[in-house]
Amino acid sequence: MNRARELLAPWQPSVREPFDLARAGHLLRRGAFGGSLALRRSLVARGVDAALDELFDPSSDPQLDAGFTDVVAFDDIERVRAYWVWRMVQGPPRIRARMTLFWHDHFATSNVKVRSARLMARQLQLFERAGLGKFDALLLEVSRDPAMVRWLDSESNVRGRANENYARELFELFTLGVGQYSEQDVKEAARAFTGWHLRGESFAFRQRFHDGAAKRVLGRRGALGGEDVVALAAAHPASARFVARKLLAFFVHPRPTTAEVDALAAAYRDAGRDLGATLRVLLRSRLFFSPRAWRSRIKSPVDFVVGMVRCLGGRAAPLRLTRAIADMGQVLLEPPNVAGWPGERAWMTSATWLARTNFAGRLFTAAYKTHPAAATVLERPRPAQRADLAIELLLDGVIDDTARQAIHRLAETGVPPADLLHAVQCLPEGHLL
């Protein structure tokens, strides 16, 4: 227990380990979608606690949110996708925005089957609204979310002919993981969800299709309804560890240790399964700022593209960005299946590496018009200064000596600044989160 406490104890900045550009960059990349050099510098000046306050700022931006109303009205999946990417690029650095992507991968719903841009947009709105609250409340809302109802066939789940799809994925992929429940649990939980249908495009409980007889689910007996099953699954001890593991894999390291999972699961229970409170502990922890977490994940296409544009502090046409993200293997709102994207090394293939490399090249070549930060590289008179600024801009200034020397040599050949930025971004470090 002591060791567990140590892992999540608040990280203390010191002279040897200050809250510097690298740590501010790490916090912004993992907790948001990255940020400009100016933002990183201002966070360093304000300190780690102020940086966390910024990340966890609960206020919402009505101008940013107004777009949801528009895309819901348009009902065009390309527009929803582009709007979402635009939010990621233009929005303030918020953990809330980051969690929307996390939940989209966790509750992976695809428009290939839902076939309604409107419902997909409403699901994103749900993640944005409830993604940092209590897990129990989020899970209940997701279970009644119209896109989810269509995605996992809840509408064909009726008394006498139960459809197990939602019940199974609820246990297997959303809360417990394989091995923590029995086939009987799935069968009886499916009966508890009978009648959870839609009327038009809204959730409707239809009593006459509901099986009101007694069931036994996860050790509890009674005339259980869907709400009871959701509450049982969320409160199950395996669920705390399951959620903790997913959060650690997303925020800290792709393969969390048992000790790490135990520690975060305990913190999550202590916080009454409040996700915002749990994440605040995690992102302030020694573990989060440890070498184990630093550049230990491979950027997803969203991280790569959105992060690069935010790094430059500039703008880009969102539709072009969503297509670039798709070229790199991530079609937002169409995850490959209900388990979400495999992620990490699976992102990197010959084809997707080329897509990343060529997109970066095009972005930097075009950058001078639209990205003020990129233009500053031009203004540095000496090649070494240009090289160092490029490394600072894109890699928080952290790179080993041999790589730095190689970038310096490249700068001395007098290549255009766009090529310099391109080369820095294409270093292996440029693909690490």
Partner 1 sequence: MTHPHDDERRGVSRREVLRSVAAAPLLGAAGSMRWLPHGDSRCLVVLELDGGNDGLNTILPLEDPAWARARPQLAGVRRGAHRLAGGFGLHPAMSGLHGLMRDGLAAVVHGVGFAGSSRSHFHNRDVWHTADPSFRELRADSTGWLGRAADLLATGGAAVPGLSVGSLSVPLVLKAKEVVVPGLRRIEDYRVLVSPGPDAARRREQLIALATGEGEGRKGSDGLRSFLCGVARTAADSSEALHTALARYRPKARYPATALGRKLQLLARIVICGFGTRLFHVNFSGFDTHAGQLATHEALLRQLSEAVTALVRDLVAHRMADRVLGMVPSEFGRRVAENRSGGTDHGDAGPVLWFGGALRPGLHGAHPSLTSLRDGDLVPTTDFRGLYGAALGFLGLDAKPVLGDEFLLAPGVNPVRA
Task: Write down the least CB distance from residue 106 to partner 1, Å.
Answer: 14
Over the window 126 to 155, marking each residue x when it contacts partner 1 by CB under 8 A and - when it does not, the resulting string is ---------------------------x--
CA of 95: how far to CAs of 99, 243, 310, 312, 358, in Å?
A: 6, 17, 15, 20, 29
Asked if 428 is part of the footprint of partner 1 (rule: CB under 8 A), the reply reads: yes
Strand, coil or helix: 220: strand
Residue 263 or 321 with smaller CB distance to partner 1:
321
Stretch touching partner 1 by CB under 8 A, among 179-187, 237-245, 264-272, 346-354: 346-354
How many residues interact with partner 1 (rule CB under 8 A)?
A: 53
How would you label 96-107 residue by residue, b for 16+ Cβ within 10 Å and e otherwise?
bbbbbbbbbbbb
Of 59-118, binders to partner 1 (CB under 8 A) are 112-113, 115
Query: Which residue among 155, 249, 361, 368 contacts partner 1 (CB under 8 A)?
Result: 361
| Residue 370 Cβ vs partner 1, minimum distance, rounded to whole Å | 16
Q: Which of 221, 144, 229 is nearest to 192 (CA)?
A: 229
Q: Contact between 384 and partner 1 (CB under 8 A)? A: no
Q: Tell me the sheet residues that pair with 198.
A: 203
Query: Of the ranges 48-56, 138-146, 255-263, 351-359, which one interacts with partner 1 (CB under 8 A)?
Result: 351-359
Residue 431 in contact with partner 1, rule: CB under 8 A: yes
Query: Rounded to the nearest 5°, which phi and psi values hold at 225?
Result: -105, 180
Query: In Å, how far are 93, 372, 377 from 381, measured between CA atoms?
Result: 32, 17, 9
Residue from 296, 313, 375, 380 touching partner 1 (CB under 8 A): that is: 296
Question: Does 346 participate in binding partner 1 (rule CB under 8 A)?
Answer: yes
Distance CA 331, CA 100 (A): 15
CA angle 336, 77, 68 (to 5 degrees): 115
The answer to whether 275 touches 303, Cβ cutoff 8 Å, is: no
| 8 versus 324: smaller Cβ distance to partner 1 | 324
Nearest-10 crossing angle of helices 401-412, 417-426? 160
Binding site for partner 1 (CB under 8 A): 112-113, 115, 153, 165, 173, 295-296, 298, 326-327, 331, 334, 336-339, 345-346, 348-351, 353-355, 357-358, 361-362, 365, 400, 402-403, 405-407, 409-410, 412-413, 415-416, 418-419, 422-423, 426-429, 431-432
